[in-house]
């Protein structure tokens, strides 16, 4: 379990802590994570240990680390949990702009319609409840986006208005 500062963990994991890099990669990783922490309204004090934060704050810190790490591939399980409206908007924008691959497991259909090009669903077996069939819905952006005819993904959110 990660108990220390999250930025250092990412820099070490990605090999960015290499002193031969002149610290530029570490500084860039720190900058990306700090932007994500602030945008997700997460704890920005790197001296705070994760186990001293609330569950929601730990979740936001971990999500910020994932978004800031700039990995080639991202796997997110229910990424909208514990997020307020502005955090949801930041997450959506980050996923829309992302160059790498993304797999999102979520019940948040608004997020899916905002970011997904393809959606896979599974249907539980009526007797056991375990997943037995899977369906892939290609080109969901064409179905979900009002701008689908232009071939561009919508840059506006399909999320219903929420109170702040």
Q: In this predicted structure, what is the pLDDT of residue 146? A: 40
Is residue 41 over pLDDT 90? yes
**pLDDT digit string (tens) for 75-129?**
999 999 999 999 999 999 999 999 888 989 888 989 988 998 888 877 776 777 6
What is the distance between the alpha carbons of residues 95 and 116, in angstroms, rounded to a whole number? 9
What is the distance between the alpha carbons of residues 152 and 66, in angstroms, rounded to a whole number? 26
**pLDDT digit string (tens) for 53-77?**
999 999 999 999 999 987 888 999 9
Q: In this predicted structure, what is the pLDDT of residue 63? A: 95
Q: In this predicted structure, what is the pLDDT of residue 149? A: 33
Phi, psi of 75 (to 5 degrees): -120, 115
What is the maximum alpha-carbon separation in the chain? 59
Q: Give, in degrees to the nearest 5, the angle at Cα 68 between 158 and 110.
A: 15
Is residue 147 over pLDDT 50? no
Q: How far is CA 114 from CA 20, 21, 37, 128, 160, in A?
A: 40, 37, 22, 33, 12
Is residue 9 over pLDDT 50? no
Q: In this predicted structure, what is the pLDDT of residue 11? A: 43
Phi, psi of 25 (to 5 degrees): -70, -35
Q: Which of 12-16, 30-34, 55-59 has the lowest mean pLDDT?
A: 12-16
Is residue 145 over pLDDT 70? no
Q: In this predicted structure, what is the pLDDT of residue 131? A: 60
More confident residue, 20 or 149: 20
Residue 18 in tokens: 């290499």
Q: Which residues pair with 137 in a beta bridge?
A: 119
% of the chain with per-residue pLDDT over 70: 63
């Amino acid at each position: 379990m990660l108990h220390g500062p999250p930025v250092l963990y990412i820099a070490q994991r990605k090999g960015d802590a290499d002193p031969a890099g002149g610290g530029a990669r570490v500084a860039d990783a720190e900058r990306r994570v700090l932007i994500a922490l602030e945008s997700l309204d997460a704890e920005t004090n790197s001296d705070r240990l994760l186990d001293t934060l609330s569950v929601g704050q730990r979740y936001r810190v971990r999500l910020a680390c994932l978004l800031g790490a700039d990995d080639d591939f991202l796997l997110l399980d229910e990424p909208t949990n514990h997020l307020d409206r502005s955090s949801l908007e930041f997450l959506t924008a980050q996923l829309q702009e992302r160059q790498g691959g993304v797999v999102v497991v979520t019940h948040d259909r608004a997020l899916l319609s905002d970011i997904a090009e393809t959606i896979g669903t599974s249907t539980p077996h009526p007797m056991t409840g375990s997943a037995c069939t899977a369906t892939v819905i290609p080109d969901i952006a064409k179905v979900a986006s009002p701008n689908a005819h232009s071939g561009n993904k919508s840059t506006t959110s399909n999320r219903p208005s929420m109170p702040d």
